[in-house]
Amino acid sequence: MKRIVLIIEYDGTSYVGWQIQPNGIAVQRVIGNALKSITGENLTLHASGRTDSGVHARAQAAHFDTESRIPAEKFAFALNTYLPPDIRIKASLEMPREGEAEFHARFSVQKKHYRYRVLNSRHASAFLRSTALHIHTPLSIEKLNAAAELFLGTHDFAAFKAMGSKAETTVRTIFLSRWSRDGDCIVYDVAGSGFLYNMVRIMVGTMLRIGQGYDVHRFDEERPLILGGVRISEKGGLLGHSDADVLLHAIMDSLLGACGLPDIGHYFPDTDDRFTGADSTRLLMEVKRIIEDEGYMVGNIDSTVIAEKPKLAKYIPAMKEKIAGILDILPGDIGIKATTNEKMGAIGRCEGIAAMASSIVCRRS
């Protein structure tokens, strides 16, 4: 009897993960079937860890014990003739199965390294659709790394496991937690003593909380027009319970949404006289306090104002400065665009102004 170790690479798109499952095809089953065809034995494959559905692997280790006389290094060649093209054995070698030097793919693990790739570009990629999450909102490496550093060290990661986890302990040690840029992609590398069920996905999701907001108001010629906290004109404003700053309202909704919180109507209802004619910059300050109390900080904001009139380009720098000052971020972390509705619909008929916003928040701890 000898112990053979496999170094495995696979595209996990078509699989339910490593471990055999009743609801689909698993990588473990496919390799196990190939081994039976080669050796005639019903072998048990032990892996360094279980990958989730759709996760890929560059160098996953697994071992099996066999009576086969096939030389260890030949298993890679033999298996690759039986395996589908999305699973490859990169190397095969014999390791000790007894004594102090005994090797076990699971229990001999020193650390595991995961990489999560995000395509941070305006449009998605046909080639990266199975290997990268697409986020069009600009991301800040600096802000993400500030959040990533909080994972370093030994902690109880019970809050970062999905339902169904059967781990005996939720304490794990993280040695590496870092974001870096690779062309249009940003990449998260994390290495640790081990990971809980869906732990890496939840960690990334926590750092990339994204919210969207939308607001629209009719024109009221007797009110001043205020957008992004900047007074644009004394007449030709918008109708609303507060100062009707559609841009700040969309941004506030996006920030609250990113944190999984109710919209601004919950916090500042139009049935409350305290908010009659309210300055929306003060409301934005309150939203900042609310999300900070939830443990989040603002990362980036991308927004669009949709209006046939007035022309807004010259006011955008002042808007960015105003919003950045309130949220304690840099103006460069804020995107504000102005466009028309090509004379279509209510906005095109100059009946009002609309705004859309997307925000990313990062967890402080």
Catalytic positions: 52
Distance from C-alpha of 31 to C-alpha of 82, rounded to nearest angstrom: 9
Q: Is residue 129 exposed (0-12), middle (13-18) or buried (19+ Cβ within 10 Å)?
A: exposed
User: Which structure tokens are listed for 46?
Assistant: 């032990």
CA dihedral 316, 318, 319, 325 (to 10 degrees): 140
Distance from C-alpha of 348 to C-alpha of 342, rounded to nearest angstrom: 6
Phi, psi values for residue 270, rounded to 5°: -75, 0
3: number of Cβ within 10 Å = 20
225 torsion bin: left (phi>0), alpha (psi -120 to 50), beta (else): beta
Instruction: Determine the Cα angle at 55 with ends 51 and 60, to 5°.
Output: 55
Distance from C-alpha of 124 to C-alpha of 118, rounded to nearest angstrom: 10
Instruction: Determine the Cα angle at 97 with ends 91 and 99, to 5°.
Output: 135
Instruction: Determine the Cα angle at 118 with ends 284 and 125, to 5°.
Output: 115
- The label of the residue with tokens 């927004």 reads 303
